[in-house]
Homo-oligomer: A and B are copies of this chain.
C-alpha cells in the first residue's frame, strides 16, 4: 500500500486514503470554500496527496471555477513598513479564508499598477486589493478604471485602501482628520512656525493629509520629497536651512519623519528641545527611534485585515477607520 502509484491519483483516492470526505480533501488541496479544516485532518490530506503524487491542476480548476484562491495585493513598496504591516494583516486574515495573497509592488510607477492589474486579471485572481494610494492623474485614473471594469466583467472583485472612486469598496484611513489631530497637537504646544515635509503630489494620501493639517495650522513652508527616509531627510534639510525659525516639522509619514530626525541631528537641532517632529501611520518601529516618535496612529494590521474582509464579502460600501494621536518624546512646548 505504501508503493508509489504508477498512474495519476484522483481526489477521491486521496480522500479515501486520508479517511476524509471528498469536500474536505478539496478544501485542503484547492483552497475553495470558506470553512476551515482542522489542522490534523489538513496534515493527513496533504501527506496522502503527496504520497500518492496527487496533482491538483489548480489552473484547470481555475478555468472551471473562473476564479482561483489568489488575492492580489498591490502596494507601492513592500520594504516600506506601512505596506509591510498592512500586508501582514491581510495575510493573517487570508489564512482564515484559505486564500493566498500575491503581493505586487508598483515602486510608485502608475504604468506598473496597470500592468499588475492586467496580470492578476489574467491569473483569474479572486480579488484585487489596491493598497497603494491612488495616483491622481486623470489619464491614469481613466486607464485604471477601464482595466478594473474589464476585471469586474469577469467576476473579479476590486477593493482598496483609500478612496478609489465610487465603484470600489474601500477601507478609508482618516487621513484628513488624522492630520488635523497632528496640527491641533502642535498648536496646543504653542507652535506657530511649522514646516511640512510632504510626499509626491501625485498621491491622493498626500493631498488629504496636507489639506487636513493646513485646515488647522497653515504651514510656514512645505517641502516635498519621496515617501522614504532619504526623501524626508532631503526635504527637512532644505526646510530647516531655508527657515531656521521653524520650531516644528510635520512629516506626512513616519518613514519620512525618520529622515527628519536624522537631518535635525546632522544640523545640530535637538529634538524635542529645539524642534518638535510629528509623523503619521505609527509604523512598527516608531516607538523605537531616537527620540520615540509622536505620530498619528492607524491600526495597520487591522487595515489589512479589514480590506481582506471586504475582498471576500459581497459589495457593501466603504468603511472609514479612525486615526488617533500618540504622544511620545519627539514633541514639546515651542521654545
Chain A interface residues (CB < 8 Å from chain B): 29-31, 39, 42-43, 46-47, 49-51, 53, 55-60, 62-63, 68-70, 77-81, 84-85, 87-88, 91-92, 95, 100-105, 107, 111-112, 114-116, 118-119, 121-124, 143, 146-147, 150, 153-154, 229, 258, 261-262, 284-285, 287-292, 301
Contacts and interface: CB of A to CB of B under 8 A. Distances in A.
A100 B85 contact: no
B79 A87 contact: yes
Given A88-B79, A284-B79, A56 B100 contact: no
A102 B70 contact: yes
Contact of A59 (B47, B62, B87): B62
B39 A111 contact: yes
Per assembly, the copies of the chain total 2
Contacts of A146: 50-51
Nearest to A89: B79
A119 B92 contact: no
Given A87-B79, A88-B77, A105-B91, A59 B56 contact: no
B88 A56 contact: no
Contacts of A85: 79
B70 A78 contact: no
Contact of A31 (B50, B81, B119): B119
Nearest to A149: B50
A132 to B, nearest CB: 13
A284 B229 contact: yes
